[in-house]
Amino acid sequence: MDKAYLMTIKEVASFLGMSVTTINRMTNKNHLIFDPLFPPKIKVGHKFIRFNSAEVQKWLDKQLARGTAKTA
């Protein structure tokens, strides 16, 4: 990713190879797989949620550096 942009949750899920449900669980403080380091949701308007693409990439890079992300 060259320039940061706002990604939909479907785009984030596709980019990371995860389901939308998993992304929702990772951002839910009350869920067992909550990840406090995962990029926060950005509320756009009353009902739209987006994620900063640069922050998603940074999170993925950290996972790969730690060896906790799986690559294809």
CATH code assigned at 15:
1.10.1660
Percent of the chain topping pLDDT 70: 92
What type of residue is 23?
I
Domain count, the chain: 1
pLDDT tens digits, one per residue of 18-51: 999 999 999 999 999 999 999 999 999 999 999 9
CB 70 within 8 A of CB 16: no
pLDDT of residue 71: 56
Tell me the pTM: 0.86
Domain assignment present for 71: no
CB 34 within 8 A of CB 27: yes
Domain that holds residue 42: 6-66
